[in-house]
Amino acid sequence: MPHIFHPSILREYDIRGIVGETLFDADARAIGRAFGTRVRRNGGRVVCLGWDGRLSSPDMAQALTEGLMQVGCLVRRIGRGPTPMLYYAAKVREADGGIMVTGSHNPPNHNGFKMVLAGKPFFGPDIHDLGKIARSGDYARGEGEAVNDAIFDEYVTRLAQDYDGERGLKVVWDCGNGATGEVLTALVKRLPGTHKVLFGEIDGRFPNHHPDPTEPHNLVALQDHVLAEGAHLGIAFDGDGDRIGVVDGEGRILWGDQILVILAEDLLKARPGATIIADVKASKVFFDEVARMGGKPVMGRTGHSLIKTQMAEIGAPLAGEMSGHIFFADRYYGFDDALYAAVRLLGIVARWDKETLGHRRDRLPHMVNTPEIRFDCPEERKFAVVAEVRGRLEAQGAAFNAIDGVRVDTEDGWWLLRASNTQAVLVARCEATTAEGLKRLRMTLTEHLAASGVKAPG
């Protein structure tokens, strides 16, 4: 039976919509049939399926199961948990595909799906191909089955396996009522030290704060408890556990590129000269520090699927994004797992004799920068605006990197303008060595936007 999806839900890296408005159980069933068809035509049959703690996720998972079975797939239902637990299951069970029902860090009434096929990210044209298959009704045929696969304990054991600290730490954790709560509660029982878990009960209404650690106001409770407990550090997760947030013992936030520098420093001791990837939004400090420590820093396009693909192509053992996605292919499987990244970070801090996380943060070169600035731009204009800016930069003979939008180098620092692949927005960021330099960078960016008829945010 042909099925038409709402045009807004098939995104670049995943499928996302508003439950009851743009996304329904019927869509999940059709996704199951379409994705299962891709699996079958790829010569496979086995699909791992997991879901997060959103109120709509169990029903969506059931509809997906039905759709997958209708095209002859064997569905291994791994149950409720974080997205990386689904990635882990698909890897170690050598499944032909995997689907996670998750709304990630989006509002409670949103939901969606993240997928892997034959061990590789499933995104871009692959996702749009699901729309074509569903629209045509050209599904595979067969009779499938579903089995429950209790991989929870195995996953927790694997996470704890790579802890290599030499002492116990005092740590505060903030699950934000997201999908990491049950796994994290089991994990900390296997780690040395003292651990306090905040908001560990999985609750898709997110009653305490929104589960997005890139927004500082979502880290206030964690910061307060770290200071009150005298903890060594605090760690937070997003709604589905593939992004990490970190605060030091003084309650100060470490951003994604700062976390990555600390992880890279430790990795490069064991793997000198290793290639380490950061996305185009990362600070110049990251690229300079990795080079200083003997590594090979590489700038990549923003997007977790793109980063994973690039890692596999060039054999990088570590990568990360400003958004808090951290990818380890060193002793691990190359996907973004915030729980695993946390274990590796704890091991590093617990091997320092005298230094604290705060001290290490303070030793990083100090830059003045903006956060990621996102502002609305019509879907039909966002890429055109970036192209127009690029054209003007070329005419001026400016130095810039065009791997993802334009990242422009000046004597003051750099500024970035790129179009979001998932929303009708433009994304900007500026970084300089001085406040005056930052002001000049922002002024230049504002002028370029104005020349394309776009008003920059204040």
Max Cα distance, the chain (Å):
66
* Single-letter residue type at 165: G
Ramachandran angles phi, psi of 248, nearest 5° = -85, -175
User: How is 194-223 classified by DSSP, letter by letter?
Assistant: EEEEES-S--TT--SS-S-TTSGGGGHHHH
Q: Answer whether 75's CB lies under 8 Å from 125's CB.
A: no
Q: Angle at CA 328, nearest 5°, toward 326 and 333?
A: 125
> What type of residue is 239?
G
Q: Which residues of 190-223 are buried (b: 16+ CB within 10 A; e: fewer)?
A: ebeeebbbbbbebbbebebbbbbbbeeebbebbb
- Here the tokens at position 360 are 């290490």
Instruction: Please answer whether residues 113 and 126 qualify as being in contact, where contact means their C-beta atoms are separated by less than 8 angstroms.
Output: no
3-state helix, strand, coil in the chain (%, to 5): 40, 25, 40
| Known catalytic membership, residue 56 | no
Return d(Cα 411, Cα 288) in angstroms, integer.
16
DSSP designation for 10: B
85: closest CA among 208, 242, 214, 307?
242
Provide Rg for the chain, Cα atoms.
22
Q: Catalytic residue among 56, 57, 104, 420, which?
A: 104
Q: CA angle at residue 373 from 286 to 361, to 5 degrees?
A: 30
109-144 as b/e, with b when 16 or more CB fall inside 10 Å?
A: bbbbbbbbbebebbbbeebebbbebbeeeebbeeeb
The single-letter DSSP state of residue 242 is S
Query: Residue 97 phi/psi, 5° resolution?
Result: -165, 170
In 3D space, the residue among 162, 48, 173 whose CA is nearest the CA of residue 114 turns out to be 48
What CA–CA distance (Å, rounded) separates 328 from 341?
Answer: 8
Active site residues: 104
